[in-house]
A and B are shown apart, each in its own frame.
Chain A
């Protein structure tokens, strides 16, 4: 069976598909998150050391994973757009950035909530949290650059260069921050030393990760649809779509 990979590479054909996929993934996300949250907040046992407050990791860790994963995916789409000069790839990269930034922010915020009852401070210069903060700046930089450029083609390409430079730098940033952290902190006061995982905890965390992943896909696809409509608004198919839903 030969797959026509390029059938969906034009905004016109991808638009309706994106809509259907978004709907499907939204439902899946809702289900997964409900199950995951229920398991995490009601079923998983109380932690011996941290009591109930540890439960925030069921949101914190999946959000952190998604934030990093989405940056790599964004860089991938952006790089594809730069290499093959395809419009849709650039649109996908632009669509991913705000969702990625959102997950980064959630990771930071929930990390803060975890820190307060556990270590007494709202912010800890922990290696992972600090790296997440820098990741947030990288996302903001990408969005700000694209917002500052009027021409969408130049915006896509410039964003792609930035995203690729960023993705290469992320390991360097992470390791240098980790090194800085171990040098400056005597005892390893670390938010990342997660409690030993009971099976239910692990399951809950994995389900939440999938839930966030599905949410991410749905949100990105919906945003991509908006971007497609905006960029292609002078084309026939967009005009017809507008008339159809008017």
Chain B
């Protein structure tokens, strides 16, 4: 398990997010360094997903900015996104492709080299051994979520993981596996941001509760 050399910090400065007429949060800031895990909690509709999308660079905040190594991520674009894995609510899984094909596409688009052997290993790590050549259409919700999360097993060199409800639709065994992946990654010196309802046994270094804000 290789360690990721000192990674730059992800800084959120004075973020304000307004969707429609509601201001979801205002004046929000945090600094996330390597080896830290940020957990964002709050009720449905409190802006957790919006905050994650702002942190990724998908959504532009109405005020404030997010910086990676001191530079605005919207200016860095691909440079930042190469150092990021984002697993959102949607699985980004194509029904007509097999699990292995889906994973291969996801990795190639992210710039991660993925040989077939490693793909098989990653799927096995998430408990999907034997499902590699099944079209995603026949997989259950939980299995599809695991195919989406299998990317993480191939992303040990990626310094920042941003995960939106990673444990949704997973059974207890799968939750364990994913928690292991995340804990390992943090101990490698990487940074992880996640939202979850579950009282995970992963120790969060930082917590942001959007309802309190």
Residues of chain A whose beta carbon lies under 8 Å from any beta carbon of chain B = 150-151, 234
Contacts and interface: CB of A to CB of B under 8 A. Distances in A.
B21 A151 contact: no
A234 B21 contact: yes
B13 to A, nearest CB: 17
Contacts of B21: 234
A87 to B, nearest CB: 10
Interface in B85-130: none
Interface residues of B, number: 3
Interface of B: 19-21
A178 to B, nearest CB: 41
Contacts of B20: 150-151
Contacts of A234: 21
A47 to B, nearest CB: 57
A31 to B, nearest CB: 42
Closest 4 CB pairs of A and B: A234-B21, A151-B20, A150-B20, A151-B19
Contacts of B19: 151
A198 to B, nearest CB: 57
B137 to A, nearest CB: 32
A113 B150 CA distance: 69
Nearest to A150: B20
A151 B21 CA distance: 9
Contacts of A150: 20
Contacts of A151: 19-20
B181 to A, nearest CB: 35
A26 B2 CA distance: 73
A102 to B, nearest CB: 31
Nearest to B23: A234
B212 to A, nearest CB: 24
A185 to B, nearest CB: 50
A150 B21 CA distance: 11
A220 B20 CA distance: 25
B59 to A, nearest CB: 11
A171 to B, nearest CB: 31
A234 B22 CA distance: 10
4 contacts: A150-B20, A151-B19, A151-B20, A234-B21
A151 B20 CA distance: 6
B69 to A, nearest CB: 23
B99 to A, nearest CB: 35
A150 B20 CA distance: 8
A145 to B, nearest CB: 19
A219 B19 CA distance: 31
A151 B17 CA distance: 13
Nearest to A157: B60
B108 to A, nearest CB: 29
